[in-house]
Homo-oligomer: A and B are copies of this chain.
Amino acid sequence: LIESIAGLESSASLAGNFVRNCWYVAAHEDELDQDFISRRILDEPVLLFRTSAGSIAAIADRCPHRLVPLSIGKRSGDAMQCGYHGTVVSADGRCLSIPGQTHIPRDSGTVSYPALARHALVWIWMGDRGLADERLVPDMRWLVHPQWATAKGYLRIEADYRLVTDNLLDLSHETYIHGSSIGNAEGESIANFPAAVTIEDDCVVHARRDMYGITPPPAWTGARQISGTIDRLQIATYQPPGINMTEAGYRPHGSGVDYIFLARVMHLLTPERANSTHYFFTVSRNYRSEDTALTAAIAAGNVATFKEDQLVLELQQKALLERGDDRVPNMVIGLDGAAIQGRRLLERAIQRERSDPQSAVLPFPLVPDIARWREAPAVSS
């Protein structure tokens, strides 16, 4: 009667634009205050939960028996019980019990993925599990530092994750997409100020833009209480495949002093499928860190702002699908410099993994060097 005993194999039909041997963000850690969550990552169905010991379980969201999503079942201690016939699967994907029999076939189970929580983020490794070294998790310790405050959020974007990075590496779009919040006015267009693009260690792109003598964008004049003519600094950083960072500062124009640190924004991109992206973001500051109203306002403001990007990115994706060719830019202009470098580094990382399946992405040091910035001034509240 029993023909074969087989575990559930990981899908081999992965699209070619993914790096696998690296840590991706799978969730904000507090999402796991729920019993479990289900999320498609690199086109695989993943179920995530936190065990009673505090570790993170990440297994295929498919019962090894008949492939129904385990997420229609329920937590059973540190395991999941399938909602169809009651098979129990452990946090590491092994079958713990099979209804109606005491024999548990060796090797029965479902795919599991290395995963861990660090600095308020849940990270997952979708590649060769033998390479899943915890030391390769990007260090974002400021996200939980007591002197810092972080606003955060999540959007699901119906677009290729590479288009999202393109967007983040050319912030001149802020004038057009975000004119009512973080964009300079068109007369002082961000594009007027050239970005200095540098490549570091052959693995990270930086695009720095100093904008002299401009009016603060609308979002800075309210809760942030910035006024007068300023110099504005933006540094966009990208490490393939999915880590984007934007740092922002300002100073009174003509003051000649160091920039005052305003915010460090992480845009952590994890491919859901070839043409859709999990977009986790954090916005951190090292001042007024106990002002929870400011934190909430920043979170709400950034969701609103990033939804403006979402609209454009999804229409761009649709246009590319209609054309049947995903190559962009169609016409290369000077503003594309950083994005083109980012694409090159990503393509190199994909090729490196193909030619050496034992290679893995080494994270670039991200911990903020606050000494570079002046402290934020006191603000009457």
Residues of A near any B CB (own CB < 8 A): 1-8, 11, 13, 45, 62, 64-69, 72-73, 81-87, 95, 98-101, 105, 108, 166, 170, 172-173, 175-177, 186, 189, 191-192, 194, 197, 311-312, 315-316, 319-320, 322-324, 328-337, 340-341
Report B-chain residues with C-beta under 8 Å of the C-beta of A86.
172, 175-176, 186, 189, 191
> In the complex where A100-B194, A176-B86 touch, is A66 in contact with B335 (Cβ < 8 A)?
no
Cβ of A85 and Cβ of B334 under 8 Å apart? no
Chain B residues near A67 (CB-CB < 8 A)? 316, 319-320, 323, 328, 330
CB distance from A13 to the nearest CB of B (A): 7
A-B contact pairs, 28 of them (CB 8 A): A1-B334, A1-B337, A1-B341, A2-B336, A2-B337, A4-B332, A8-B331, A45-B319, A45-B322, A62-B319, A64-B331, A65-B330, A67-B320, A67-B328, A67-B330, A72-B311, A83-B177, A85-B170, A85-B176, A85-B191, A86-B175, A86-B191, A95-B331, A99-B172, A99-B192, A100-B335, A101-B333, A108-B331
CB < 8 Å: which of B7, B65, B311, B341 contacts A333? B65
CA distance A181 to B332 in the complex (A): 57
Distance, CA A341 to CA B173, complexed state (A): 54
Which 8 residue pairs across A and B have the least CB separation, nearest first?
A99-B191, A100-B191, A64-B331, A101-B334, A67-B319, A68-B316, A1-B337, A100-B335
A131 to chain B, nearest CB (A): 25
Is A176 in contact with B100, judged by CB distance below 8 angstroms? no
**What residue in chain B is nearest A322 (Cβ atoms)?**
B45
Name the CB-closest residue of B to A104.
B333
Q: Cβ of A105: which chain B residues have Cβ within 8 Å of it?
A: 331
How far is it, in angstroms, between the C-alpha of A312 and the C-alpha of B72 when the chains are bound? 8
The CA-CA distance from A105 to B87 in the complex, in Å, is: 62
The answer to whether B85 touches A335, judged by C-beta atoms less than 8 angstroms apart, is yes
Known A5-B332, A176-B82; contact A99-B319, beta-carbon cutoff 8 A: no
- Alpha-carbon separation in the docked complex, A87 to B191 (Å): 11
